[in-house]
Amino acid sequence: MAFLGTLLETFELIVLSFFYSIEALFRLLVPPRSKSVENETVLITGAGSGIGRLLSLEFARLKATLVLWDINEEGNEETARMSRDQGSPRVHVYKCDCGRKEDVARVAALVKKEVGDVTMLVNNAGIVIGKNFIDTTESEMQKVMDVNIMAHFWTYKAFLPAMIARNHGHLVSIASAAGFLTVNGFADYCSSKFAAVGFAESVALEMIAMKKDGIKTTIVCPSFINTGMFDGYKPQSRMLPMLDAKHVAKKIINAIRRDQPIIMIPRSVYFLVYMKSWMPKKVSILLAHYTRLFDVMKTFVGRKYN
């Protein structure tokens, strides 16, 4: 009987794997209809500039209610003004240091009291120090981890329970291609983004195990974006160009509206991740040389953080 059960399960695995593969191929040619976000309350961390601001403006055009978090009050207020001009029905602005647990808890409580349940959570806030690991201080490493991954834990704890209760919501992690592909001189950033990808994937599986099919997840893994975070980076390979921020924001919105579980930008990242998954270590090092990943730090400047 045990053998028969295993045989049936194996047959089911083969048939369904074939079916889902055909379905995925079909969806490449005929994408699913984009969902409306007009009745959603979207919280975006790091909304005061860069991708956070651009995502806010895209959601505003789609008439979503916005909750904007940033440590930069002036930048956040400017994003709010621009979002109102784009047509968002309600825009709520909060100063929040996403690298401090107490601040996240305090502001999350305010949001729940003043706005209500958040139905779409976009963890976008992120920083990078950009030094060789041996030169990175413990406090610098801790700051990167707090902003880039611990903030995800804290915001999920604050807003996911209400999504589970309603079986409705969307969790968006703005991670990075550095969550799959390591880069010389970015030990702080890569470790935090690997953690962000693993955390988001694990929680997604929890939602499936809990049969909460109304809660969607999207992991975003772009390469270098021209937002100022990676100032000084000069692309030396067409496989990893400097990405236009507006283009990336539109790609992210499309992925969210189509409930796409993961998106890598540009498409060459899919190829590089696939190659890394099976090639010998020495070949992967050759590939890193070919894509000039060893040369990133030669001109990197980045942003300065207090």
Would you kindly state where each structural domain of the chain is located, as residue ranges?
37-298
Q: In the structure encoding, which two tokens stand for residue 36, read together? A: 């409306």
Q: Is 94 a catalytic residue?
A: no
Long-range contacts of 285-289 (CB under 8 A, 24+ apart): 288/184
Listing DSSP states for 58-126 in one string gives HHHHTT-EEEEEES-HHHHHHHHHHHHHHT-S-EEEEE--TT-HHHHHHHHHHHHHHT---SEEEE---
Beta-carbon contacts of residue 46 (< 8 Å; ≥ 6 apart): 52, 69, 70, 98, 124, 125, 126
For the beta sheet containing 262-265, the strands, ordered from the edge strand earlier in sequence to the opposite edge, are 91-95, 65-70, 41-45, 120-123, 169-174, 215-222, 262-265
Distance CA 73, CA 265 (A): 30
Q: Say if residues 217 and 170 touch (Cβ distance below 8 Å).
A: yes
Q: By CB neighbour count within 10 A (0-12 exposed, 13-18 middle, 19+ buried), where does 26 fall?
A: exposed
Q: Which two tokens stand for residue 1?
A: 């009987």
Q: Which of 156, 189, 274, 290 is catalytic?
A: 189
Residue 200: predicted pLDDT: 98
Instruction: Look up the pTM and report it.
Output: 0.91
79 Cβ contact partners less than 8 Å away, ≥ 6 residues apart: 47, 48, 49, 52, 53, 56, 57, 68, 70
181 Cβ contact partners less than 8 Å away, ≥ 6 residues apart: 269, 272, 273, 276, 293
Predicted local confidence at residue 202, as pLDDT: 98
Class of the CATH domain delimited by 37-298:
alpha beta
User: Tokens 């789609």, residue?
Assistant: 62
pLDDT by 10-residue block (mean), the chain, 306 residues: 75 82 78 91 97 98 97 97 94 97 98 97 93 92 97 98 98 95 88 97 97 97 85 69 92 97 94 88 83 73 62
> Taking the mean position of all CA atoms in its chain, how far away is CA 150?
14
Q: What angle do CA 251, 175, 189 make, to 5 degrees?
A: 135
pLDDT at 183: 83
Strands in the chain per DSSP E: 41-45, 65-70, 91-95, 120-123, 169-174, 215-222, 262-265
Residue for token pair 């048939």: 15
Tell me the two tokens of residue 133: 């690991």
CA 274 to chain centre: 20
In sequence order, what are the residues at sequence separation of 6 or more whose Cβ sits closer than 8 angstroms to the Cβ of residue 13?
none
Strands 91-95 and 215-222: unpaired
Report the alpha-carbon distance of residue 258 to residue 243 in Å, rounded.
22
Spatial separation of the C-alpha atoms in residues 295 and 42, rounded to whole Å: 38
Q: For tokens 């390591």, what's the residue?
A: 182
pLDDT of residue 275: 87
